[in-house]
Structure 1
Amino acid sequence: MPQILKMVSVIAKLQTTLDVYEGLFAEKNNAEITINNFHEIGNSIKNALRTHIIIGCAALFSDPSRTCGNENMSLKNLIEKNESKLSASAIALKNEIFNLVENMNLKKFRNKHVGHFGLEEMLGFQATEAEITVSNVRLLLEKSQKFINILIHDAQIMPQNESLGFYSKIPNHRSTDKFLARLKGHA
């Protein structure tokens, strides 16, 4: 259960980070407030949030269950431990998650642009195609949360009709809109 609790917590933190990224940078007007007024700070925040999302999602969803003999905090590790207990609906959702990760090209993008700097990619001689969008990441995180709750029930880790959920939206009084409004007012 500790692995599941930590994984659900990490997923929730990634969802919150995605909310912040989307609120600050997804709309052109919002991005302009931070980047035009505070160029270095705005770009640093954007890159830090993006890097956190990509590395976190790649670690959870594309890393193997073990690396160099050590267990990883990855969905593959959690599945490996409970695979024989998974229902047909859990297996179908697992396949959807891993298809989405594959279509996003998450692992290769992380390895070439974020986790390591591939020389050919960094010099612009080679491109790594990726579909890492806000909507794809949001879908991935939502599906993974649902999958973990199905796994919990399939493996009888928690009582029937109970589920885990750590994610909650940022309260309006601390929202990215309020943050941007303050930046506008003081810029």
Structure 2
Amino acid sequence: MEKMVQITYNKRKHSDQFSTLLQIVRCCGRYVLGDKMEEDVVLFKKKLSDVSLNFTVYTELFDSPEAVKAMNDFHPFIFGNYQKCLVDVLYLELTKLFDPQGKSGSKNLSFDFMISKVSKEHQTELRADLQELGKLFEEANLKKYRNKLLAHNDVNALRGSKVIELRVTTLKLEMLLSSSWSLFGKIEYYLGITDRPYKTSSYIRLPTGSSVEEFVSKIIKRT
């Protein structure tokens, strides 16, 4: 991602996964879904929201020269390590959403799985949208990076004899997330959860008192 080199960070390839708890508001639909389907929609929305939250925190922290300087002045090792962990979990969780739905009895909560729950008359349109979204995903080369360096310790990749080139920028991630939310908005609409397809920002609005700007301000006051 752009500007990652601004902080010296730990080079380890794996990071401990962490999850962010978000309150997900259940929308009132035009008809009642089955309990499992409603649960799947809420769970998927939470996963997508988690990715947007991590993306928001990353860009506000590490794409800001003022924030980077404040963190380097305060404790470059800790914040550099956090940067690497945040990037790893962002890539990992985003990539999971593009997994195939899997076999019966062992399903993956992904776009493929969610589209399969929509009536067949709308699946062609949604799969065409997913195919276009998949092109952005393929351009970033995130799947190979996840498979070789995040989900597994590929020996050749770790030795450097096999180069896994990431083609990720903040702009590409923003486009990926924006298109992901647009597709999910259509899925909710065709499931009868919303009255119309919707689009939402790639970013999460952080609550007052929890913004990155306030966090950086507190760090500056302590240095």
User: When the two structures are superposed, what TM-score results if normalisation uses the length of structure 1?
Assistant: 0.84
C-alpha distance 91-66 of structure 1, shift in aligned 2 (>3 A)? closer
Contact 1:86/1:151 (<8 A) preserved: no
1:100 aligned residue: 136
Structure 2 CA distance for aligned equivalents of residues 83 and 117 of structure 1: 40
Q: In the TM superposition, what is the alpha-carbon distance from 1:29 to its structure 2 partner? A: 3.7
Structure 2 CA distance for aligned equivalents of residues 10 and 186 of structure 1: 34
SS in 2 for 1:108: helix
2:196 aligned residue: 161
Percent of aligned pairs sharing the same letter: 20
- The one-letter code sitting in structure 2 at the alignment partner of 1:21 is Y
C-alpha distance 159-12 of structure 1, shift in aligned 2 (>3 A)? closer
Structure 2 CA distance for aligned equivalents of residues 67 and 137 of structure 1: 29
Pick one of 12, 22, 30 that aligns with 2:49.
Answer: 12
Q: In the TM superposition, what is the alpha-carbon distance from 1:163 to its structure 2 partner? A: 5.9
**Post-superposition CA distance 1:77-118 (Å, at most 9, x none):** 112333723266534422221111111111101112222222
Pick one of 93, 98, 110 that aligns with 1:56.
Answer: 93
The number of equivalent residue pairs is: 185
Contact 1:113/1:121 (<8 A) preserved: yes
- The one-letter code sitting in structure 2 at the alignment partner of 1:75 is F
**Post-superposition CA distance 1:105-156 (Å, at most 9, x none):** 11101112222222222222221122222222222222112111212223x4
Pick one of 54, 75, 100 that aligns with 1:38.
Answer: 75
C-alpha distance 17-173 of structure 1, shift in aligned 2 (>3 A)? same
SS in 2 for 1:174: coil
1:149 aligned residue: 185
C-alpha distance 119-162 of structure 1, shift in aligned 2 (>3 A)? closer
C-alpha distance 162-58 of structure 1, shift in aligned 2 (>3 A)? closer
Contact 1:35/1:41 (<8 A) preserved: no
SS in 2 for 1:157: coil
**Cα RMSD (Å) of the superposition?**
2.6
SS in 2 for 1:73: coil
User: When the two structures are superposed, what TM-score results if normalisation uses the length of structure 2?
Assistant: 0.72
Question: As a proportion of its length, which structure holds more helix?
Answer: 1
